[in-house]
A and B are shown apart, each in its own frame.
Chain A
Amino acid sequence: MATTELHKPGVARPPRPTAKRKPVTFGRIALYVTLSAVSLLMVVPFVWMVLTSLKTPVEIASQDAGLLPEHWDFSNYTEALKAAPFATYARNSFIIAISHTVLNLVIASMAGYSLARIRFRGSEVIFYLFIAALMIPTYTKVLPEFLIVRFMPLAGGNDLFGQGGSGWLDTWWALIVPGAVTPFAVFLFRQFYLDLPVELEEAARLDGLGEFRIYARIMTPQVKPAIITVALLTFESSWNNFLWPLLVTRTDSLRVIQVGLSVFRTENGPQWHFLMAGTTLATLPMVVLFLIGQRYFVQGFATAGLK
């Protein structure tokens, strides 16, 4: 009511309390100078990458070349894009990254919720198994995963025992399913769900909500930092994945952007001007995503694991 009255026409709005400025101290100046220097250091490789992408091979190799290109060679971008079907690669990377992100958010949040909020026999053991799974190096899983994909029953001409065909190799299934859920995401979601007050859950139960609706409508909207963090990390790792797509695909129509960029890393020396142009383009989506979600992303890491 009070709010309505305050917004009546003609009623003067009381002045907003101004934020009290913190005094400028030597420590504060030193902090800003340090942070600015560190930020600059972090940005330098990206700036260098963009500027290198605009130089000629002769200039890149030259000892006397400065940071800025002498001749801004924008044709590196068009030439790099001609070198391979990058539009197809980018589309494929995007489909895979989005699929991984959505699947990971849905499945890992459900798993995290169950482990955090539902009491069932063996939940502790399952949680510890997830923790153990966090410790398995990605590279040691490559071969078993490859064999699972290759011998997938009733797929790609395989019989019920996975023999006779090529299974999921060179298909979208091979690119999407194996990387769909990560133990880290399950762990992160569990930690966030644990933090939520039990009263929220009890109130929802008293209102007659079932378990799935409590998860979907009451609890999950409270863990936005976890959702953003998992989404960004999943998208990033999926977008940057190189080895797995290289191993399970053969045709250009299923190759991803990181595999596409490898055409510039030749055995006898990378074509730096093209590689930097291609990498700049491949980096842009990630930069944009991080700029959009950075606040939640930091919050997600800052509060993960706290109770």
Chain B
Amino acid sequence: MELKRRSLLAAIGAGTAAAALSGCGTGSTAAGSADGPAEGEITLLTPIYENANGKTLLEKEILGGFRKKYPDVKVNVDYTTYAQLNEKITTGMAGGLLPDVLMMGVGWIPPFAAKKAIAPLPEKFATAHDYEKRVLEPSRYDGKLYALPVVLDTRIVVYRKDHFAEAGIKKTPANWAELRAVAKQLTKDGRIGFDPFSIDLRQCWETFLFANGGQLFSADGKKVLFTDNRGVEALQFFKDLIKDGSASYAKKTALGEPANVQTGKASMMMTSSALWEQVRLQNPELLKDDKLGAFVLANRKPAMLQGGTLVTQSASSKHPAAARALVQYLATPESILGAAKQRGSVPGLKDLNESGYVKENKFVDLSLQNMSAACSEGGTPAWMEIREKIKPTLEPAIVGDQSAKDAIAELGRLAEAAIGRM
């Protein structure tokens, strides 16, 4: 499946270039002015608001409110999945028919802003609400604001309080040495002490890289920085855990499968804030008995990967005023709170810190309290190509004999080549 997906992305990349060269790309659509009244028929492309609840939330509640405020705007919703979002956007770009409003992931703004597929937003949008300081960073490219955050998805460590108590462990690990020792101590009777692999390997390694004080790219996105010792140590740590027997790649769980801390097969795991929602549905007794705790990974510094979904506006929209109005509306506290609740995600507005939802979901609360430790992936226009290569390049070091140093060097070469092509 992944091979097919990579093949498609490669083909799409090549095709987009060809389309751009032949002049049949976005140029065929004349963009209008954003200064006029908000009116017309626009399309929203979204990878979130999935399932029946999500559709009702978006189409009835959120867009219901939007229709009242902007009665002359008709919004058509085009649902897709995150797995196919890039294909959907890229083919739309190649065909010169991008949806007017697009929702995309953290790290995606520089690639599409650099291609001039999305339009900058007025800077006043950045101060319209009380954003956590670094929440807007992934929304910017080249100093300009291109998107507004809808929901954040943080990566934290969740642990079993009952396992810790049984082993007499009183505090959560403050650095990797402690994490490794605790994981070893908790590994027994077929249970692993720490499961770093049940979330996406790319996001997991990035969290370890950031916690080790490393960075992915330079501020201008032109230099690869993860190839230093910090990146290698982050990957080597996984190998060390496997060597100790306190982590196992074979025991990783698939998306949606009960996580290893849920089933008691692991005492700690890397996960996203959305795990709370999954546990609430699948193992409510764990929350009732207060068996789950969470902490932010730390080594040289505490770090929490901040992913999420942003909303942005197509540069080629024929109804830019309507599109801009929708972008603004989707990022209001009411819309954000609804989306965060539905997905178990983190709302990135300080206005919502005291809301009942935040106080009830402990993982979200922890994430909001530690936003100063949040770091985002991406930062280069070549990100869409590089992100696809991280997992398959690092995996051989984890499951095979390749050294961490060689795997990181190989990934560095691939990333430099991708940046060189921009």
Determine whether A139 belongs to the interface, using a CB cutoff of 8 Å to chain B: yes
Determine whether A4 belongs to the interface, using a CB cutoff of 8 Å to chain B: no
Which residue on chain A has the smallest CB distance to residue B12? A143
Determine whether B28 belongs to the interface, using a CB cutoff of 8 Å to chain A: yes
Number of interface residues of A (CB under 8 A): 40
Are A150 and B97 in contact, CB atoms less than 8 angstroms apart?
A: yes
Binary B-proximity of A126-148 (CB < 8 A = 1, otherwise 0): 00000000000101101110110
Binary A-proximity of B337-357 (CB < 8 A = 1, otherwise 0): 000000111000000000000
Complex alpha-carbon distance, A263 and B281, angstroms: 18
Pick from B4, B14, B81, B255: contact of A269, CB below 8 A. B255
- The winner among B19, B48, B55, B282 for most chain A CB atoms within 10 A is B282
The smallest beta-carbon distance between A16 and chain B, in angstroms, is 54
Are A268 and B272 in contact, CB atoms less than 8 angstroms apart?
A: yes
Number of interface residues of B (CB under 8 A): 53
Determine whether B7 belongs to the interface, using a CB cutoff of 8 Å to chain A: yes
Determine whether A297 belongs to the interface, using a CB cutoff of 8 Å to chain B: no
Q: Which of B84-92, B158-166, B322-330, B405-413 contacts A (4 or more CB under 8 A)?
A: B84-92
Are A61 and B258 in contact, CB atoms less than 8 angstroms apart?
A: yes
Q: Which residues of B contact A110 (CB under 8 A)?
A: none
Pick from B54, B78, B91, B99: contact of A142, CB below 8 A. B91
Determine whether B127 belongs to the interface, using a CB cutoff of 8 Å to chain A: no
Determine whether A169 belongs to the interface, using a CB cutoff of 8 Å to chain B: yes
Are A268 and B343 in contact, CB atoms less than 8 angstroms apart?
A: yes
Determine whether A58 belongs to the interface, using a CB cutoff of 8 Å to chain B: yes
Which residue on chain B has the smallest CB distance to residue A141? B11
Q: Which residues of B contact A83 (CB under 8 A)?
A: 51-52, 55
Kindly count the residue-residue contacts between A and B in the assembled complex, taking CB atoms under 8 Å apart. 120
Are A140 and B7 in contact, CB atoms less than 8 angstroms apart?
A: yes
Determine whether A75 belongs to the interface, using a CB cutoff of 8 Å to chain B: no
Q: Which residues of A contact B88 (CB under 8 A)?
A: 246-247
Within 8 A of B (CB), among A49-107: 57-58, 60-61, 63, 79, 82-84
Determine whether B125 belongs to the interface, using a CB cutoff of 8 Å to chain A: no
Determine whether A262 belongs to the interface, using a CB cutoff of 8 Å to chain B: yes
Determine whether A264 belongs to the interface, using a CB cutoff of 8 Å to chain B: yes
- The winner among A63, A169, A243, A267 for most chain B CB atoms within 10 A is A267
Q: Which residues of B contact A139 (CB under 8 A)?
A: 4-5, 7-8, 11
B residues in contact (CB < 8 Å) with A: 4-5, 7-8, 11-12, 14-16, 19, 24, 28, 43, 47-48, 50-52, 54-55, 76, 78-82, 84, 87-88, 91, 94-97, 99, 153, 255-256, 258, 262-264, 272, 274, 277-278, 281-284, 343-345
A residues in contact (CB < 8 Å) with B: 57-58, 60-61, 63, 79, 82-84, 137, 139-140, 142-144, 146-147, 150-151, 163-164, 166, 169, 243, 246-247, 250-251, 262-272, 274
* Complex A-B, nearest 7 residue pairs according to Cβ-Cβ distance, in ascending order: A61-B282, A143-B15, A83-B52, A150-B95, A270-B256, A269-B256, A268-B274
In the complex, given contacts A267-B82, A268-B345, what are 13 additional A-B residue pairs having Cβ atoms less than 8 angstroms apart?
A57-B282, A58-B281, A83-B51, A84-B55, A139-B8, A143-B12, A243-B84, A246-B84, A250-B76, A266-B54, A268-B272, A270-B255, A274-B51
